[in-house]
Chain A
Amino acid sequence: MGAELVTAPRSTAPSGGEPALVLEGVSKRYGSTVAVESVDLTAAPGELVTLVGPSGCGKSTTLRLVAGLERPDEGVVRIAGEVVADARRFQEPEQRRVGLVFQDHALFPHLTVAQNVAFGLHRMPRTERQARVGEVLELVRLGHLAGRYPHELSGGEQQRVALARALAPRPAVVLMDEPFSSLDESLRAQVRADTVAVLRETGTTGMLVTHDQTEALSVGDRVIVMNRGNVEQADGPEHVFEHPASRFVASFMGDADFLPAHVHDALLTCEIGVVSTIPGWAHCDVDVDVVLRPHEVALTVDPASTAHVVAVEYHGAFVLHMVRLASGRTLRSWQPHAVRHPVGTAVAVTVVPGITPTLLVGDRAVTSPPCATDSGPTRVG
């Protein structure tokens, strides 16, 4: 995991002020299909939030609700402290202080780069407008291309113009809908880093919609995972990855396997043996599922073991091993690139020491002992 890209929430962000963006209980239905259901989320000023989820999870609808391109059926949307949509009011998109950046960039083909950027500044006096256009074009390092037309630019340059155009009117929030997915793989990382740098530099609040988990984790100060119109989890990237709130988050944000397990007297056991101790669960006797990520699973060759390797995939830096357990369940394990156990090798499976794996009861993660009050799904062993 690209640890150097994971940044702590910035100290430069003005704290204690009004959140830049608030959604409270926002729902949107199309006929009988629910696109977004009772979504709550906030973005602090200067914060960069990523909305991630599979296609159809409602993330783009959420963005369109903020932009005013859709009218919520229920709930309140506030931008920079101002209510822009609730049961009675609805502010048209042109009156909202939001900037939009789309996957296809949506630059106006009949206007030059400078005219594109100036489009949202029509209420400004001419000299001020020209100064602002120059300023934002410098920000994205495209000052020298001001006179070009969009079709004369590369994909990366077009993306930067789109960002400059969205930033020019100093919006309270910049919304980005899969802004990098139309770019080549090789170009994407660079453009992404540039974009994030510009947003940080200007202290702009940003909301970025993506279906790419890695992008969501590496870019966001906070990651909001959506599924079927609901927010499954909203946390810092490390927390989302290490402590997923649900089965869905665990499997969508990175690879994960699930094994039925049992907690008894603070001891977590499953098919591969004792996984760890769980302090605070001393008086428990409960069935759970344990979440195991491939980097948490260790393998050692052991002819006596009933588990064996069924497939090996070479990924360059790592080698992914698929291991079938006696029960028929499979686990995945990342091994360093030099390690390669042939298919059929009997291996002993353990959990890397020091890991506190996530436990699920049903589809939700549990952090505190569910049996402390004797009301959880306990079982008398």
Chain B
Amino acid sequence: MLVIAVLVATPVVAVVLSGAAGVGEASLPRGLGSMVLTTLGLMLGVGVGTLLVGGGLAWLVTAYSFPMRDVLVWLLVLPLAMPAYILGFVFLSTFDVSGPVQGALRSVFGAGVWVPEVRSLPGAIIVMSLTLYPYVYLLARNALVEQAPGTYDAARTLGAGRWRALWRVLLPLARPSLAAGLSLVMMETLTDFATVQYFNVETVSVGVYLVWKGSFEFHTATQLSVLVLLFAVAVLAGERLMRGRARFHQKGGRGQGLQGARLTGWKGWGATALAIAALAAGFVVPVTQLLWWAVGDVVSDPSTLWDARFVDYLTNSLVVATVTALACVLLAVVIGHTLRLGGGRLVRGAAQMTTFGYAVPGAVVGIGVLIAFARLDELLESLGVPGGTGLLVTGSVMGILYSYVVRFLAPAYQAVDASFAKIPPTMTMSAMSLGATPRRILTRVHLPLVRPGVAVALVLVAIDAVKELPIVLLLRPFGFTTVSVWVYELARENFWEKAALPALVIVAVAVVPVLVLFRQVRLVELRGKAE
């Protein structure tokens, strides 16, 4: 247990320690100030964007009923399956100088027509908002449906109109959920350094990546990582602050709650159009475009389908994802099992430690793993092993796996823990008193009973690992490519048609957990209807 906690904490501790040790030593890269400003601008922009789109849509589908609302309620989650680095290049292909939109504008208004620069901060904000809004949408919607229908009814009986009840009761009640959604969005924004590069936006995370890949300057990269970590801490602190001291958990309570007012005529269809527009921009149009390209590509050159590289990269992705998923789930089960068998504050503290990797941006985890491996090499060398293990060079697939485990242990543990929570403690005690050793309890009682959680955890982590880009980009050894890296590289070189097929593979994989989410959204729906 302690070993797990130490393993997970090592990269972050390494970054902080060497960052602190290197203060003043390394030269910070030029343009640091503008990097920080860009990061702030991007995070604020995406925050506002997702709040408007996600929060607005959640309000729309909750407070009103309009044509196709019941289907749109859950379809609106779909853009979650569209990684920003894929939507980004589709967006660029459509709106950039050589794309169809600008072409059309030029043909109508002449070559001198002014268009806003697409490869810019606003462009990045739009793309990221479109893929990340479902986080805010989901949490806001949950809050609006589940939070105490009785409270809303009470407000109405006290003479508050719909709007007043919204502003004075529902919105304040939904605030913690909105804060949670926003913090998720901001973390994702902070972690990304691929999408933003399409748009020539240089954030601190991009800085870490460029410094490392460009010049292998350890100290500078480390110090920038510390900066990224500070941003992450600020986001978490911000969430706490927004949540405040209030604990808004008003589950249950019977009541009518917020009923959707019927929108008819052009208003109704207007609402439908709004929701469809978000869905189209975030999912339908890009997927169609990708399909179009992919089909065109395959038709013009059928050998693409059997491209050796494609098979090779796909295998890489799958192997890394499978190993990561197995490792994460194994650790998660060990943590859950050990916690269950009792154990003091130390064990519980260790369990908590293991879950914080998820809140650390990928770039930081990556650099941290590099530092840890470098130190290990030095240590081994000083112990007389010539050349150390060469971990830094040859072990980078190990590094990727290690970073993935640090990053994805939290979702795996959450899924497994949810299953553990359903086993009453008395069951474990009974097994103990019947003479079962901890191992027998694990194999005969705990494992069979947490199987659903294990399955969910395996799927979730594997998919996250297939989608993941920043860590592979940062740590991959020369010649090691996954599907996500391939998509990114092709897109950077503007080989959009070639990138389409692997991108579709990733989207198809990423749709799976969204389908799971659909079920949850529908459950919320049913509960909302039942009350």
A residues engaging B (CB < 8 A)? 67-69, 92-96, 98-100, 102-104, 106-110, 119-120, 122-123, 162, 165-166, 169, 171, 175
- Cα A109 to Cα B435 with chains together (Å): 18
Question: Which residue, of B424, B426, B430, has the highest number of chain A Cβ atoms within 10 A?
Answer: B430
Say how far B436's CB is from chain A's closest CB, in angstroms.
6
Which of B83-91, B137-145, B440-448 sits within the interface?
Answer: B440-448
A108-B445, A109-B449, A110-B449 in contact; A119/B434 too (CB < 8 A)? yes
Contact (Cβ within 8 A) B435 A100: no
Contact (Cβ within 8 A) A102 B430: yes
Judged by a CB distance under 8 angstroms, whether B431 is at the interface is: yes
Q: Which of A93, A95, A165, A169 contacts B429 (CB 8 A)?
A: A93
Judged by a CB distance under 8 angstroms, whether B237 is at the interface is: no
Judged by a CB distance under 8 angstroms, whether B437 is at the interface is: yes
Judged by a CB distance under 8 angstroms, whether B21 is at the interface is: no
Residues of chain A lying within 8 A (CB to CB) of residue B426:
100, 102-104, 106
Say how far A166's CB is from chain B's closest CB, in angstroms.
8
Say how far A95's CB is from chain B's closest CB, in angstroms.
7
Judged by a CB distance under 8 angstroms, whether B7 is at the interface is: no
B407-447 CB mask vs A (1 if < 8 Å, else 0) is 00000000000000000101101111111110010001100
Say how far B419's CB is from chain A's closest CB, in angstroms.
12
Contact (Cβ within 8 A) A96 B427: no
Contact (Cβ within 8 A) A94 B437: yes
Can you list 14 pairs linking A and B with CB atoms under 8 Å apart? A69-B432, A94-B437, A102-B426, A102-B429, A102-B430, A103-B426, A104-B426, A110-B449, A119-B431, A120-B433, A122-B435, A122-B436, A165-B434, A166-B434
Contact (Cβ within 8 A) A95 B427: no
Residues of chain B lying within 8 A (CB to CB) of residue A165:
430, 434
- Cα A110 to Cα B449 with chains together (Å): 7
Contact (Cβ within 8 A) A100 B429: yes
Q: Which of B429, B435, B448 contacts A69 (CB 8 A)?
A: B429
- For the complex of A and B, the 10 pairs showing the least CB-CB separation, nearest first, are A120-B434, A106-B426, A102-B426, A93-B432, A100-B433, A106-B427, A106-B430, A110-B448, A94-B435, A94-B432
Residues of chain A lying within 8 A (CB to CB) of residue B433:
67-68, 93-94, 96, 98-100, 120, 166, 171, 175
Contact (Cβ within 8 A) B427 A108: yes
Say how far B496's CB is from chain A's closest CB, in angstroms.
51
Say how far A229's CB is from chain B's closest CB, in angstroms.
21
- Cα A109 to Cα B430 with chains together (Å): 13
- Cα A162 to Cα B427 with chains together (Å): 11
Say how far A103's CB is from chain B's closest CB, in angstroms.
8
Contact (Cβ within 8 A) A104 B424: yes
Q: Which of A69, A99, A122, A166 contacts B440 (CB 8 A)?
A: A122
By the criterion of a CB under 8 Å from any partner CB, how many residues of chain B are at the interface?
18
Say how far B315's CB is from chain A's closest CB, in angstroms.
36
What residue of chain A has the Cβ atom nearest to residue B342's Cβ?
A69
Contact (Cβ within 8 A) A119 B424: no
- Cα A109 to Cα B436 with chains together (Å): 17
Residues of chain B lying within 8 A (CB to CB) of residue A171:
433
Q: Which of A110, A120, A175 contacts B435 (CB 8 A)?
A: A120
Say how far B351's CB is from chain A's closest CB, in angstroms.
19
- Cα A169 to Cα B448 with chains together (Å): 23
- Cα A165 to Cα B435 with chains together (Å): 12
Residues of chain A lying within 8 A (CB to CB) of residue B448:
110
Contact (Cβ within 8 A) A169 B427: no
- Cα A99 to Cα B430 with chains together (Å): 8
Contact (Cβ within 8 A) B435 A169: yes
Say how far B326's CB is from chain A's closest CB, in angstroms.
23
Say how far B73's CB is from chain A's closest CB, in angstroms.
34
Residues of chain A lying within 8 A (CB to CB) of residue B342:
69
Residues of chain B lying within 8 A (CB to CB) of residue A106:
424, 426-427, 429-430
Taking A69-B429, A104-B426 as known contacts, 5 extra A-B pairs with beta carbons closer than 8 A to each other, sorted by chain A number, are: A69-B432, A94-B436, A103-B426, A108-B430, A120-B433
What residue of chain B has the Cβ atom nearest to residue A105's Cβ?
B426
- Cα A28 to Cα B440 with chains together (Å): 29
Say how far B260's CB is from chain A's closest CB, in angstroms.
38
Residues 442-473 (chain B) with a chain A CB within 8 angstroms: 444-445, 448-449
What residue of chain B has the Cβ atom nearest to residue A115's Cβ?
B444
What residue of chain A has the Cβ atom nearest to residue B422's Cβ?
A109
- Cα A13 to Cα B435 with chains together (Å): 26
Contact (Cβ within 8 A) A95 B449: no
Say how far B452's CB is from chain A's closest CB, in angstroms.
12
Residues of chain A lying within 8 A (CB to CB) of residue B429:
67, 69, 93, 100, 102, 106
- Cα A323 to Cα B167 with chains together (Å): 57
Residues of chain B lying within 8 A (CB to CB) of residue A162:
430
- Cα A240 to Cα B94 with chains together (Å): 88
- Cα A98 to Cα B440 with chains together (Å): 18
Q: Which of A68, A104, A110, A169 contacts B434 (CB 8 A)?
A: A169
Residues of chain B lying within 8 A (CB to CB) of residue A175:
433
Say how far B464's CB is from chain A's closest CB, in angstroms.
29
Residues of chain A lying within 8 A (CB to CB) of residue B434:
94, 99, 119-120, 165-166, 169
Residues of chain A lying within 8 A (CB to CB) of residue B435:
94-95, 120, 122-123, 169
- Cα A127 to Cα B436 with chains together (Å): 20
Residues of chain A lying within 8 A (CB to CB) of residue B445:
108
Residues of chain B lying within 8 A (CB to CB) of residue A96:
433
Residues of chain B lying within 8 A (CB to CB) of residue A104:
424, 426
B325-345 CB mask vs A (1 if < 8 Å, else 0) is 000000000000000001000
B195-215 CB mask vs A (1 if < 8 Å, else 0) is 000000000000000000000
Residues of chain B lying within 8 A (CB to CB) of residue A123:
435
- Cα A175 to Cα B448 with chains together (Å): 27
- Cα A69 to Cα B434 with chains together (Å): 13
- Cα A137 to Cα B84 with chains together (Å): 61
- Cα A169 to Cα B429 with chains together (Å): 15
Residues of chain A lying within 8 A (CB to CB) of residue B444:
119
What residue of chain A has the Cβ atom nearest to residue B434's Cβ?
A120
Question: Which residue, of A99, A103, A108, A110, has the highest number of chain B Cβ atoms within 10 A?
Answer: A108
What residue of chain A has the Cβ atom nearest to residue B432's Cβ?
A93
- Cα A119 to Cα B434 with chains together (Å): 7
Residues of chain A lying within 8 A (CB to CB) of residue B431:
108, 119
Contact (Cβ within 8 A) B432 A119: no
Residues of chain B lying within 8 A (CB to CB) of residue A67:
429, 432-433
What residue of chain A has the Cβ atom nearest to residue B451's Cβ?
A110
Question: Which residue, of B342, B431, B435, B448, has the highest number of chain A Cβ atoms within 10 A?
Answer: B435
- Cα A102 to Cα B435 with chains together (Å): 16
B33-66 CB mask vs A (1 if < 8 Å, else 0) is 0000000000000000000000000000000000
Question: Which residue, of A67, A93, A104, A122, has the highest number of chain B Cβ atoms within 10 A?
Answer: A93
Residues of chain B lying within 8 A (CB to CB) of residue A119:
431, 434, 436, 444
Say how far B439's CB is from chain A's closest CB, in angstroms.
11
What residue of chain A has the Cβ atom nearest to residue B425's Cβ?
A106
- Cα A108 to Cα B450 with chains together (Å): 12
Say how far B191's CB is from chain A's closest CB, in angstroms.
40
- Cα A165 to Cα B433 with chains together (Å): 11
- Cα A171 to Cα B430 with chains together (Å): 13
What residue of chain B has the Cβ atom nearest to residue A67's Cβ?
B433
- Cα A119 to Cα B444 with chains together (Å): 9
- Cα A155 to Cα B430 with chains together (Å): 18
- Cα A180 to Cα B431 with chains together (Å): 20
- Cα A107 to Cα B429 with chains together (Å): 11
- Cα A162 to Cα B424 with chains together (Å): 15
What residue of chain A has the Cβ atom nearest to residue B441's Cβ?
A94
